[in-house]
Structure 1
Amino acid sequence: MARLQERPKRKNTGGRYIAYRKKRFHALGRDQIEVRIGAGKTQSVRGCGGNIKSRAITVKEVNVLDLKTKKFKKAEILSVSDNKANQHYIRRNTITKGAVLETSAGSAKVTNRPGQEGYINAVLLEK
């Protein structure tokens, strides 16, 4: 079943909206990919205009920014320690934007959307 990113058929009151056009290809959405810790694995998806979007499925490394030195370095992900999106994501080691990761460089907060970009950027948290 296709996921549409359009107005629903029903109002909040239960009444119906009148359809003003048919379904369009550009309004099509996709299921969410829950990014997990594991061997680096990505999936390529065709985007609007023929662009290729790389979606992360599993990730083992993170690009960590150290705010003191203003430099990036790669660090290995050990586990997910906090996730404001969903408390169950911590137990399942699911990575989303805003998640706090335990890395080999220390705790880091994810600043990008790995399910839509194919990699993880994070900022090192001060102790």
Structure 2
Amino acid sequence: MQDQGRSSRTKTGGRIHPHGNKKKHQLGSSPTETQFDDPSYKAVDARGNTTKIRALATDVTNVTEDGETERVEIENVVNNPANPNYARRNIITKGAILETELGFARVTSRPGQTGQVNAIIVDYEPEE
């Protein structure tokens, strides 16, 4: 778990003395890096009486084109603007460009938060 509370340092590097203890609502966690692989999911507790389904790995996406949505297989992660290494490691995040049977698709959902990959068809020219 990661603390996402107030920093113990000021902008200039001076020390801020804590005025209280760490609280549960200030906890964070490391990001779920959803991979292109055999499907695997994990349920985690969220705030309130809810749970989140995290997609640890997936090989399918819901692709929308002209108002029609179809479930198709992912063939490859072509590009990921979040991090160039993510495309090499086949990590899927929001904004990633996927190669599917229907063509190139850009991810519009957050698979680490929602547990599914939703995408829309885009015109994409891979760089050689």
Matching residue's letter, 2:78: S
Which stretch shifts more, 14-23 or 53-62? 14-23
Q: Give the residue type in structure 2 aligned to 1:75.
A: V
Q: TM-score, normalised by structure 1?
A: 0.92
Q: Kindly indicate whether residue 117 of structure 2 is the aligned counterpart of residue 110 of structure 1.
A: no
2:12 maps to which residue? 13
Letter matched to residue 24 of structure 1: K
Range with greater deviation from structure 2 (84-93 or 6-15): 6-15
Alignment deviations for residues 13-36 of structure 1 (CA, whole Å, 9 cap, x no partner): 111123122100111111112110
Hey, what's the Cα distance between the residues in 1 that align with 2:115 and 2:3?
Answer: 23
SS in 1 for 2:87: helix
Aligned to 2:50: 51
Distance in structure 2 (CA, Å) of the matches to 1:16 and 1:61 = 49
Q: Deviations over 1:11-59 (max 9, x none)?
A: 2211112312210011111111211011211100011113111000001
Runs of at least 4 residues off by over 3 Å:
none
1:1-127 → structure 2 map (5 Å cutoff)? 2-66=1-65, 69-126=66-123
**Superposed displacement of residue 10, structure 1:** 1.0
SS at match of 2:109: coil
In 2, Cα distance between equivalents of 1:11 and 1:120 = 39
Report the TM-score, using the length of structure 2 for normalisation.
Answer: 0.91
| Distance in 1 (alpha carbons) for counterparts of 2:106 and 2:26 | 32
Q: Take 2:20 and 2:101, find their aligned partners in 1: how far apart are those partners?
A: 52
Amino acid in the other structure paired with 2:43: S
Q: Which sections of structure 1, spanning at least 5 residues, go unmatched?
A: none
